[in-house]
Every structure is written in structure tokens, then in C-alpha cells.
Structure 1
Amino acid sequence: MTPSKPVPEGQYATLRNGYRIHYLDESLGGDGRRPVVVFLHGSGNGACGYSNFKGNIPALVQAGYRVIVPDLIGYGYSDKPDDVEYHLDFFVECVKQALDAIGVEKYTLVGNSLGGAIALGFALAHPRNVERLVLMAPGGLNDLPDYLAMPGMKQMFELYGAGKPVSEAQMKAFFQSAFVVNPDCVTDELVHERAELMKRQNPQVIKTMKVPNLTARLGEIRVPALALWGLNENMMPDSGILRLAKGLPDCRMVLVPRCGHWVMIEHRELFNRTVLDFLANG
């Protein structure tokens, strides 16, 4: 990595709508014969696929999966149009067009936070393409006032809402307070990656982001699902736990103690073992 490339650069897919999405595509070879897992990252300043999932990609690749990790439109190295509104259906359609361009038809979607909401919306819009879902404290289960009442969300708006420059030290303190229980999980490397990518981001993606409450439609999703939820979550309301567990007809729910919003980072080994078991047996 060079100073101009804070995280590894992979490949690009040009979408039918004209935008370009960056993605990582990792496997042991023979892609056409390997089951596909697609990781969908969360939102926030400086978010991208690699920073969210770099601790999880190798375990799935070594187990024989083809792992595709896009940067959502508006994030990372993907295009960041400032003349569109970033609604859930726009994210879903861009991910679908990217996977079509890559040439995969069946896949498991793994998503946290916004990425989890996209995975749910994708399964509703394109059920024939989705084999399984893995969800980590997904959005799309509550109305906006419920999210704004969460302590982590309040911290985020206090930090970024003033329009003042945010230092890496401030970003690290925010991540440690809002996203995890164990502060050691928030490394200087992770913070630097996010800080550098934040410089490339325009405010449109967060300013116009809208995610509807999908709770009433969860019963339409028939594929097996695994949900992981940290019991010290500061970003997503706990009411989402039962809405997800009872709403999805075939959902395995795992509640993780001493865990915040980033279960795949804070409890990486547990997450990897649990997901691999689900992919094989769920």
C-alpha cells in the first residue's frame, strides 16, 4: 500500500447505470466451481469493505469459498456521485449490477449495519440470487427516531455533524466508545485507513441515506439466515434482535456477550467459526 492507496486496490466493475464499483475478489482458484460469499460493509465516515472484513476474508478463502468484497457506491474506491440520493434501493441495485457484471448468479450475502439492511433488501428484491444471509446488527429494523436515540449514533452526529476537521485521535476514541467493548480492537492501522478514505468521501452519501423499516416484510425471506448481535450494542436498538429472530422464518440467532457493533472485528475467531459452520450446515 502506498500513501495514496490506504487499503489494497482490487478490481472494478462498470455498472449498467454508468457508475463504477471497486471490489476485492479472493479465492484459491477455480472460481466457477466455488460457492460465493459477498461481504457488504456498514456506513460511516471512511467505511470500506477491506477495513470491515480483512480479518474474515482469509478464513473463508482457506475454507474453499470465493469471497467478493465490494466498496458500496459512495464509499472506498467506488464512485461517489453527488447528484443522487442514497436510498436503500439504490444501494441494492448497484450491488446487483456489480455482481451481474462480475458474473456470479448465486451467493451468500454477509452484511453488517447498513450492509445488513442492503442484504435484507437484496433478498427481498432478488430472491432467486440469494442462497443464505449472514447479518450482524443490520439496519432496516427500526424507524429513524429509534436509531437517533442510541448513544453511539448521538456520538457520531456530535463528532461529524459540526463540520469541523476530525483528527485520527478523535476518530479512534469514537470507534472505541461507540463500536466495541475491547478498545484494543481499534488499531491505529484501522483508524488511519478510515481517516484517509474519509478524505475521498463526499457528504452526500450520509446526508441523503434512507433505509426503510423492513420488519413487516421479513417473513417473505425464505432462505436460511444467521444473525449475530453484540449484547453491548450502542448503534442499533436491541428491539431489532426479536424482530429479526421472529421475523425471519429460518433464522439462527447468536447473541455475543462483551461485544459491540463490530462483532466480525471484536470477536473475529468466533465470527469466522460460526459463519463457516453455518455455510456448511445451516
Structure 2
Amino acid sequence: MLRNALPALLLALALPGPGAAEPLPRPAYGPELEGFAYPFPVERYTFASQRQPLQMAYLDVPAATPNGRTAVLLHGKNFCAATWESQIRALSAAGYRVIAPDQIGFCKSSKPAAYQFSFRQLAENTHALLDNLGVERPILVGHSTGGMLAAHYALLYPKAVEQLVLVNPVGLEDWSAKGLPPISLAQWYQRELKTSAESIRAYETATYYAGRWEPRYEPWVTMLAGLNSGPGKEAVAWDSALVYDMIVTQPVVYRFPQIAVPTLLLIGQKDNTAIGKDLAPAELRPKLGNYPELGKEAAKAIPGARLVEFPELGHAPQMSDPDGFNRALIEGIAAR
């Protein structure tokens, strides 16, 4: 998936060969994903936020033949700007300038030790980046947690958004209101410290890829596992804990009727994502993350929203079926 034969290299590092007694050690990356290559040049936006200097990494890929429109891709909780590679290439070929940031606390961006994570703050950071780049009315494409961020951005800056695209966003339901017990930052932090390649792969198989694992997904496991096992793993785990707390305690579903920009929902129907589901009472778990119903409810709640469903795909349709997803995305944003 990445250039320069990176997937083959990562697989060779990560997986045992014939007759091997045990797998070779996986790479360990720095707290800003130092050592992991992105498929496009990485730029950095330096700014001050909450009385400290921070840097936000981002990709800025020009259009092959510009149509004057810009797509901004907002990654999910366990994703990075690099995981949008297929969409960046497809959008660029279709005439769009594409900007894909790594949010503060994620991937190649700063990992502040003390930061009040909120969707409003992340939206303000993203708006400042786009203003610095001269982007006024982008098409916002948000996946998973990035979908929650995109919704908040559209609520904060409705006149600064051309279109909103939500790809299997989390936050289509209020888990706490449905019975998810309180989860402390200490609990989230301890859970994140235990993250491993095996736990990542198992979770992603069941949730992102509808139970079907393919070797082409392995680089993204290596990316996350290396970030979570590297020299800055405590800082990475702490910011991750703060982000999980933000996701659970700042629901956006109640404000869907206030979204005032054209909205497209792209929903994999075999998604079952619900943050903290494993900590919910056993009888509640099957009732959470019902995306076939949640997608329809969101489409009804957001004025004028259009819904496209992918019957056989899970939480990451853009990765499971990039060609089919890219067609739906480009057709959807062209129909304005």
C-alpha cells in the first residue's frame, strides 16, 4: 500500500517465515511516529495552543488537474493521515487538492503532557491550519472519531464548510446515556499501555474489516503497535486516554438537527463500534454499535442528509474496498 515496497518490508519484519521459531521483533517508532514513512511529504504547522507550542503534521497533495475544490480528510482514533492514501490519490486524480492532518495527540503530531482535549479545540486547531493554508470552504471528510470532529467543525464554522462527509462516524449514539459505566482516565491509560500488535489486529479484524483479515492491512497494525511500544509510549498512551475520555463524554448526536451544511453519510453496515463496549454490562453490549440503524437515524436527524450504505463492509469501508468507496465518495461530493 505504501510506496517503496514498505508493506513487504513490514511483513517481513513482523511475520515468522517457514520453520521460524518465533517472529522477528517489530519496529518501535518515536512518539511522533519517527521512523514510519508516509506516502506523501509531511508538512508541519507550528502554533501555540493552551499556553504551549505545538506542531501539527499534515499532508497537502495538489490536484492533478485542479477543479478549484479542496477536500480535508480527518482521521479516526486508531488511524493517521497516511491511512487515507487511496482516497488522497483518487481525489487528487479527480481534481481536488487534498489536505490530511494528524490531529494533536496523534501520529506525527505533538503529544502534549497536559492538554484539555475537546472536539472544539481540535476543530479550532484544524481551522487555524486551513486558514494558514488559505483554504476557506473545504469539503470535510471525517472517519470514525474524525467524523465526530467534522460534525463539530461544521457546527462551529457552518459558513466555512462546503460539504460534510461522515464515514462510519462514532458518536451516533450516547453510550453513557445508554448505560456505559463511568471510565476513569486511569482506566483508559492502563488499557492503552497494554496495547499490542495482537490486540490491535484482533480488534480491527472484528470491527474494521467485518471479520475478514488481509495481509495488506498489516502495515497499519505495525504503525500503531510501533507507536504504542516505542520510547514515547507513556506519552502516547496518556494522550490516547484523554482522547477516549473526550469521545465518550462529548456526544454530538444531540446536535445533528443543527448541522446546516450538505451532508453525506457513508456507512459500512457490518460495523459494530462502540467505545468502551467491553466495559458495558453484558446485556447492553449487543445493543451498542448497531450501525445499520444508527446510520438511518443520523440521516433522518441531519437536515437533507444523503445516506450511502455498504452492505458487506465494516468500520473502515475506505480501507476494505477502496475502489468502491472512492467511487461513492467522488460521486457523492460531485452531486452538490
- Residue identity in the other structure for 2:77: S
The Cα shift of 1:190 comes to 2.2
For the 8 Å contact 1:16–1:97, the answer to whether it is kept is no
CA RMSD of aligned residues (A): 2.6
For structure 1, the 5+ residue unaligned runs are 150-156
Q: Secondary structure, in 3 states, of the residue corresponding to 1:161?
A: helix
Q: 1:152: which partner in 2? A: none
- Residue identity in the other structure for 1:269: D
Give the one of 207, 229, 243 matched to 2:297.
243
Work out the CA distance in 1 between the residues paired with 2:302 and 2:216: 32
Greater Rg over alpha carbons, structure: 2
- Residue identity in the other structure for 1:122: Y
Q: 1:62: which partner in 2? A: 93
For the 8 Å contact 1:73–1:79, the answer to whether it is kept is yes
- Written as runs of structure 1 = structure 2, the 5 A alignment for 1:143-154 is 143-145=174-176
Q: Secondary structure, in 3 states, of the residue corresponding to 1:20?
A: strand
Q: 1:114: which partner in 2? A: 145
Are residues 148 and 64 of structure 1, via their aligned partners in 2, closer, same or farther at CA, if it must alter by over 3 Å?
farther
The Cα shift of 1:25 comes to 0.5
Q: 2:317: which partner in 1? A: 263
Q: 2:282: which partner in 1? A: none
For structure 2, the 5+ residue unaligned runs are 7-26, 28-33, 181-186, 275-288
For the 8 Å contact 1:85–1:204, the answer to whether it is kept is no
- The answer to whether 1:27 aligns with 2:62 is yes
Superposition TM-score, scaled by structure 2 size: 0.73
The Cα shift of 1:30 comes to 7.9
- The answer to whether 1:215 aligns with 2:249 is no
Q: Secondary structure, in 3 states, of the residue corresponding to 2:163?
A: strand
The Cα shift of 1:78 comes to 0.7
Work out the CA distance in 2 between the residues paired with 1:277 and 1:29: 18
- Residue identity in the other structure for 1:144: W
The Cα shift of 1:93 comes to 1.4
- Residue identity in the other structure for 2:205: Q
For the 8 Å contact 1:180–1:262, the answer to whether it is kept is yes
Work out the CA distance in 2 between the residues paired with 1:143 and 1:258: 25
Work out the CA distance in 1 between the residues paired with 2:179 and 2:242: 15
The Cα shift of 1:250 comes to 1.7
Work out the CA distance in 1 between the residues paired with 2:273 and 2:92: 30
Q: Secondary structure, in 3 states, of the residue corresponding to 2:214?
A: helix
Query: Aligned residues, how many?
Result: 270
For the 8 Å contact 1:41–1:112, the answer to whether it is kept is yes
The Cα shift of 1:146 comes to 6.9
Superposition TM-score, scaled by structure 1 size: 0.86
Structure having greater relative contact order (Cα 8 Å, sep ≥ 6): 1
Percent same amino acid at aligned positions?
28
Give the one of 111, 133, 156 matched to 1:80.
111
1:19-56 per-residue CA deviation (whole Å, 9 max, x = no partner) reads 2100001113687x621000000013xx31112x1121
For the 8 Å contact 1:176–1:186, the answer to whether it is kept is no
1:54-98 per-residue CA deviation (whole Å, 9 max, x = no partner) reads 121101000000000000110111111110122211211111111
For the 8 Å contact 1:147–1:235, the answer to whether it is kept is no
